[in-house]
Structure formats: C-alpha cells, structure tokens
Amino acid sequence: MTRPRIIGNTSLATRLAMVALIVTLVSLAITAAVGLARGSELADEIADDRFVSVASSRGDALEAAATSYERSLVALASSPAAADAIVALGEAYLELNGQPVDPTATNDVTEYYLSDVVPALEDVRDSRVGAAFLVPDGDAAVYLQNAYSIPRAPGDDTGGTDDDGDEPVVTIEPDLVTDAGDGSTYSEIHPTVHQVYGQIAAQSGFDDLFLIDARADTIVYSVRKRIDFGTSLDLGPHSGSALARLLDTFADADRPVGRFSDFSAYVPALEEPTTFVASPVFDGSTLVGYIAASLTVEPFDSILSGDGAWDGFGDSGDAYLVGTDATMRSTTRAFAESPSTYLAITSEPGPSQLTDTQRRRMSATGTTSLVQPVDRQLVLAATESGGITDVVDHLGRDVRLVYRPIDIPGPTWMVFAQVDSDELDRPIEDYARIMLFAVALFIVVVTFVAVRWSTRLMAPIRSIAERLRRVRAASETGERLEMSDLDDAEDGPTEYRKLSDNVDQMLRRLGERRADIEAHAKERTSLLQQFLPASVARRSEESGGEVLDHVQHASVVVVHVDGLGDLVGDAPEDEVRNLLGDLVDEVDALAAQHGLERIKLIGSTYYAVCGVSRPYLDHAPRAVDFALDARALVAELTRDDLHTSVGVSAGPVSVGLAARSALVYDVWGDTVTEAEGLARSASSDTVVVSDAVRSQLPSSFVTTGDAGGAVAVTARVAQSEVSS
C-alpha cells in the first residue's frame, strides 16, 4: 500500500505560503532571540549603570561626611579656646591628682564597675571580665569618675537606693551632669567647657567628644563621661585602644591635622563598634593635647541606607562598609530590618552560618559591624580599584555586587553595594513575556499575509500552466494551435525560451571560466613549488599570495663569487651556461644538505638562510659548515678559477613573499645587512663571521682575528683533535 504524499498533493500556492511562513517564522525566531539577548544585555547595562551610580553616590556621601568630620575637628583644634581648655583642665586634673581620694569614693567606683560595667561587658563578650583591669588607679581618675561617671539620681550626690534602702533610685545620664558641686577647680571650669563642647558634639553627630592633655595622653574631658574619662591613654586601662593608637600617629605633626581610626570594639562604649577622628592641638608651636571625637556605625548606616529608605536599591538591595580584615564596618540591611530573622538565617548550617559568639555580639551591639565576614578576595580587589561582579553573598544569595574604595585619611574602607540577581532579572523576564506575545500576534498576521501573497503570486504561473496544458492538448489531438491563441497569458513561451537560453549560455561561460581559473591555479602552484621552499609555497597557496615571518634566531650566509666576469668573458657561452648551472645546482644541494635554503641569487652573490623554514638550535654551526664547504666546492668545480668571499651573521630576520605585482621572496633585516658587509670586507677565499655567530660556534671551528668582533673561520677539525 502506497503511503499518501501529503506534500505532493499540496498546491503550489499553498507550498509558497508555507515556505514564506516558515522563512518568516525562522527569521522572526532569530530576530526574537537576538532581540531578547540584546535586550537582556541592555537591561543588564542599564541596571548596572544605575546601580553603580547609586553605589558611587553612597560612597561619595561617605567621603563627604568623613571630610566634614575631619574639618570640624581641625577647626576645633585650630581654635585658641581648645588649647586654653586643655591647659586649664589639665592643671585642674593635676591638682586633683595631688589630693588623696576618699575611700568611700574608691569603693563606689569599684562597686559601679562590678555591678554595672563588668556585667554589661560580659553580656557582650559571653565570657568573664576582670574588673581589676578596668578600674582606674589614679587619684584624679577615681575622683572624676565618682563625681561624673557614676549615674546619680537628680539632686543626689551619693547614688544607691531610696530613703528606705529597698528600691534603686531613678538615675540620670552622666553626660547631663555639669557641676559635681564639690568646689574643686575642675568643677568650676567644667560647666563652661561642657556647655560649649556638649553642644558641638550634639550638633555634629558625635557619639562623644574628648579633650586630651598631652601629658600622659590623659582624657581631661569627655561629653559622655564613660569609664575612659580621667584615664591615661598612655599608661591607663585603655592604653591599647584604637583612640590611643590614633594619637600615636601624630608624633610628627606640627599643626592641626585630622585623621580617622578604623572601627574597633571600644570597651568604654561596651564594645560597641566605634571609630575616632582626632587632631593635635597646639599653643603656638607647643603641643598641648588633642581633641578627638568618637562615631558609632549609626551615621554611616544612615548615609548608606538613605536614612533607612534605601532609595535606588529596590526590594533586596544593600550597601555596607567593609574593612581590610574582610568584615563589615556598618550594619547590613537584612539585619537592620529584621535582626531576629537574620540571626535565625546565620544559625543554620551552610556558608552563611556564624558562631554563637558572633551572633551573640550582633544581638548585644545591634549591628553586624566587626562581626559579619565577607569574601576576602573581593576585599583584596576593592582595595585597588572599583568593579562589578556576580557573586554569592554572605547569606548565600546570588547577587550583583558593586565595590569601590573610600578615600578617607587613615583607615582603608570599601563600600559594597549589592542587589539580588532575581530582582535584576525580573525586568528581563517581563520583556521576554511581552516579546513572546508580540511574536504570537505577528505569526497570525504573517500567516494571513502569506496566504494572500502566494495567491496573487501564483496568478501568472497558473496562466502559464494553462498555456502549456493547451499546447499539450493540441499536440495530442493534432489540432493546430496558433501562438495568437495564447496571448491571454501574462508571460509567453518566447520569454521563457529566452530565459532558458540565457541560463544555458551563462552556465557554459561559468564552466569555461572555472576551467581557466583551475588551470591558472595549477600553473601558479607548479611555479611556486619550483622556485620556493615547500613550506613557503604551501603557505602562499593558503594565504592567497603574501607570506611574512619574523624569525628571532637565524643565520644568513652571503657568498660572493670573485672572478666570474673574467670567466664569462673568456669561455664559450654554452660552456659558461653549463658551468653556472652546475655550480648553482651543486651549491643548492650543499645548502639543503646542511639545512639551509637559497633565498636569492643576484649577479655573482648567493644568499642562503638557516633556521627560517625549519628552526635549528645549531643554525650558526650549520651556516659556517655550509660556507666552508661552499668555498671548497666552488674552488673544486672551477679548478681555482673562481674564488669566494663569504660573510655569515646570526640574529633576527624578516622573511616573506610579496605577490601583488610580481613574485618576490626575500629576507631582510640588520642580520642580512651585516652578512653582506662581512662578505664585501672579506678577502678572497675567506669566511668571515660576526661576533654573534662566533659565540655560537663549538671549539672544533678554527678562527682567527679579534675575539671581540668579526673573525675569520679557516676550518673545522675533528672532535678527537679538539680533545687532544
């Protein structure tokens, strides 16, 4: 049973419509794929540019804020009021240090550390803290902390409990205490100083502001009156803090200059991540102290998040500050929006898992600063320059990350800004859906148009088919059919006959031209193989004519034959032609034997090169061997009628074949020029080699001449003779 031919039974108009539809669909599919790919690229570029702009703006804002803090500190340090305050408070501090402290005050300070400070620090560290390492031992420090640092009830100078001794009293912040009421010189100065610098700290957004006496780097004033107040940063319990290290960097300063410290867990702030900006203070040319301010992560978080709005970051975008130790210096968005969720995620096994100590510190300090690690390789890249890349972030999410260094005097910080890859791909997915809908609609329209077009296109073909049917029917019945009877067709048989004849003529001409091209190509190939090295001829055919190589290590031999003119003039023409032909063939064979190839023959000068078509490590010895044998061969063939002067040089050469107007195969360069010069300067029957060639010759070659320049090679002896 014969299978029905579906395509064979389809009309030509339908086939044309199908072909047009298929071609259109294929073109549309390719166009849609290219459009989707290009659209995705454009969407990525736009998203990248937008996100890079947002990240850069956050980095610029951080640099501007840091510059503002720095200039504020320098301006305060440059004011004579700062020097006066430090000197006055320093003297008052020394006065207190010379007076014995009431034992009750010492006990109160110790009790404050044991009951308030140590438990708070232990809660952050999740480990025991020794109070002995924190309680100050100086009289003035104990006195000032008892008077200003220990929280008091309003109007109460003793602290502790209420009148009944049962309930704790309501305390106030110690930074609100302006006068301890003890009648000391320090208490007389403090209210004035505190009114000025307390307002400055509040207006500037500083967490704390310090005046530090240069003598033992003593903190003689601070706004917050924490446990660092009154202590020495040189010898006291906080001598190893970031603030103490920052002051050490001003050892060579001779004027007010602002510098930042890196973020660190500052013990007086209950190990809250803190950075310091400070400047030395001078009275004339004399260093009297320092003015310093502390900053928490909050102002940096506010800048990075746009005051918590995260404008330009979408639903998943984030920006955070990173230090060179590959940990954050600010609070990541996920933690700021939901600390409990963040802590739950980082407790699960996986790349984002943190230790219990790390999560406890985050919870206690309220920030991921100094705790959350990031990719160290990205940090190394960010310290050098900015960039953008796709990575897996610290929570195991696929993100697009932008990074750039921050220009701040002191620490090295980087801004990392990221957004989830899924959020970036969302516009591309929407674009793909819209394009697919447009393609489906276009297919319907194209199908309708293709059917209409094929119907109209087949009208003249149907007319021609009808004419052929009538001609065939007339021929079968013997009916005479005049050509005029077929004039109703749009295209007559005459036009088709002419078209057929034209196609036949065109095919014949194409066949003749193809045969001519093939014959010419064979002739050219044969010519190249006769006159060029096989490798060069093959490459010339492959490249269409031109071949150019730069060879770094090759040797060039230039053989100049003396006496050829006299020989040609005296001998019969046939004898001279045979002699020259034999001479060239023998020298060519000798060159091939030694691994050389002839480049050209100009007049009585023969050019050969070694190490071009085939590299040789011993190209220099081969070239000199050939030169010695060629000298002997010429003398033997001409019975000493002809003499040679040979130059051999080694080095880089350029060799190539140029075939635009004429076939020219040549070698050129300084090495060729040097070999020509050596051949011209050589005496008769002498082989002169360059210093580069001489340095590559084994000891079996006998040379004469200056070892520092060109030398003559007279012979090569056997290795046994050299050894003896």
* Residue at 62: amino acid letter: L
* Torsion angles phi and psi, residue 574, rounded to 5: -65, -40
| Amino acid 609: pLDDT | 94
Query: For residues 365 and 506, which has the higher predicted lDDT (pLDDT)?
Result: 365
Residue 430 has pLDDT above 70, yes or no: no
CB atoms within 10 A of CB 16: 18
**How far apart (Å, rounded) are the C-alpha atoms in residues 276 and 19?**
76
Comparing 446-460, 533-547, 625-639, which segment has the lowest mean pLDDT? 533-547
**Torsion over CA: 213, 217, 222, 228 (sign):** negative
Distances in Å between the Cα of 469 and the Cα atoms of 47, 459, 465 are 66, 15, 6
Beta-carbon contacts of 362 under 8 Å, excluding residues fewer than 6 positions away, are 335, 339, 342, 343, 354, 368, 371, 372
- What is the CB-side half-sphere exposure of residue 578 using CA atoms within 13 A? 5
Looking at residue 571, its pLDDT comes to 65
The average pLDDT across 14-35 equals: 74
State residue 231 phi and psi, 5-degree precision: -95, 160
Which residues have C-beta within 8 Å of that of residue 373, sequence separation ≥ 6? Answer: 326, 327, 394
User: What confidence tier does 603 reach under pLDDT thresholds 50, 70, 90?
Assistant: confident
Please report, for residues 70, 164, 375, 414, 461, the alpha-carbon distance to residue 383 in angstroms, rounded to integers and kept in the order given: 22, 61, 13, 7, 74
How far apart are the C-alpha atoms of 395 and 156, rounded to whole Å? 50
Tell me the residue type at 52.
V
**Are β-strands 218-222 and 259-260 bridged in parallel, bridged antiparallel, or unpaired?**
unpaired
Q: Is the dihedral of CA 343, 347, 353, 359 positive or negative?
A: positive
pLDDT for position 511: 62
pLDDT (mean) for 466-481: 59
Average pLDDT over residues 392-396: 91
Out of 227-241, 329-343, 655-669, 697-711, least confident range = 655-669
Burial class of residue 203 in the structure, from the number of CB atoms within 10 Å of its CB (0-12 exposed, 13-18 middle, 19+ buried): exposed
DSSP string, 88-103: HHHHHHHHHHTSPPPH
Helix (H, G, I), strand (E, B) or coil at 552: strand
Q: Is the pLDDT of residue 477 over 70?
A: no
Identify the residue with better confidence: 478 or 178.
178
| pLDDT(378) > 70 | yes
Q: Residues 512, 520: contact at Cβ < 8 Å? A: no
What residues contact 359, with CB distance under 8 A and at least 6 apart? 343, 346, 347
pLDDT at 661 over 60: no
Q: Tell me the C-alpha distance between 545 and 549, whole Å.
A: 14
Q: What is the DSSP string of 405-443?
A: EE--SSS-EEEEEEEEHHHHHHHHHHHHHHHHHHHHHHH
pLDDT of res. 99: 87
Q: Is the model's pLDDT at 78 over the cut of 70?
A: yes
The sign of the dihedral angle between the CA atoms of 316, 322, 328, 329 is negative
What average pLDDT does this structure show over 498-514? 62
- 60's CB contacts (< 8 A; 6+ apart) are none
Average pLDDT score over the chain: 82
Please tell me the predicted confidence (pLDDT) of residue 196.
93
Instruction: Output the pLDDT for position 438.
Output: 76
Domain parsing of the chain, residue ranges: 79-251, 534-723
The Cα–Cα gap between 25 and 636 comes to: 81
Q: How many CB atoms lie within 10 A of CB 676?
A: 17
Q: Which carries the bigger pLDDT value, residue 4 or residue 631?
A: 631
Q: Average pLDDT in the 693-710 region?
A: 81
The yes-or-no verdict on residue 126 having pLDDT over 80 is yes
Q: What is the largest CA-CA distance in the chain?
A: 147
Q: How far apart are the first and last CA of the chain?
A: 98
Q: Is the pLDDT of residue 524 over 90?
A: no
The CA distance from 310 to 54, in Å, is: 10
Is 488 strand, coil or helix?
coil
Specify the pLDDT at position 24. 74
Radius of gyration of the chain (CA): 48
Q: From the centroid of its chain, how far is CA 230?
A: 50
Examine the pLDDT at 507 and tell me if it is beyond 60. no
Between 184 and 720, name the one with better pLDDT: 184
pLDDT of the residue at 492: 46
Position 459 pLDDT exceeds 70: no
Strand partners, 602: 605
Beta bridge partners of 46: none
Return the amino acid letter for 690: S
Pair 672, 630: CB distance under 8 Å: no
pLDDT at 283 over 90: yes
Whether 421 and 409 have beta carbons less than 8 Å apart is answered as: no
The count of other CB atoms within 10 Å of the CB of residue 207 is 20
Residue of 403 and 26 predicted with greater confidence: 403
Residues belonging to the chain: 724
Tokens describing residue 240: 């190893």
Instruction: For domain 534-723, give the CATH number.
Output: 3.30.70.1230
SS3 string of 5-20? CCCCCCCHHHHHHHHH
CA distance 77 to 81: 9
The beta strand positions in 584-700, using DSSP E, are 596-602, 605-610, 643-658, 664-668, 686-689
Of residues 85 and 30, more confidently modeled:
85
Please report the pLDDT score of residue 170 as a whole number. Answer: 35
What is the rounded distance in angstroms from the CA atom of residue 500 to the CA atom of residue 515?
Answer: 23
- The first and second tokens of residue 690, run together, are 């360059």
Residues 6+ apart with CB under 8 A from 561: 604, 605, 606, 634, 642, 643, 644
* 144 touches 181 (CB < 8 A): no
169-183, 508-522, 584-598, 672-686: least confident range: 169-183
pLDDT tens readout for residues 144-198: 999 998 886 554 544 334 444 444 333 335 545 677 778 889 999 999 999 999 9
What's the sign of the alpha-carbon dihedral 664, 668, 673, 679? negative
Q: Is the pLDDT of residue 380 over 60?
A: yes
pLDDT-derived band at 367, boundaries 50, 70, 90: very high
Closest CA to 676 of 653, 703, 695: 653
pLDDT at 301: 94
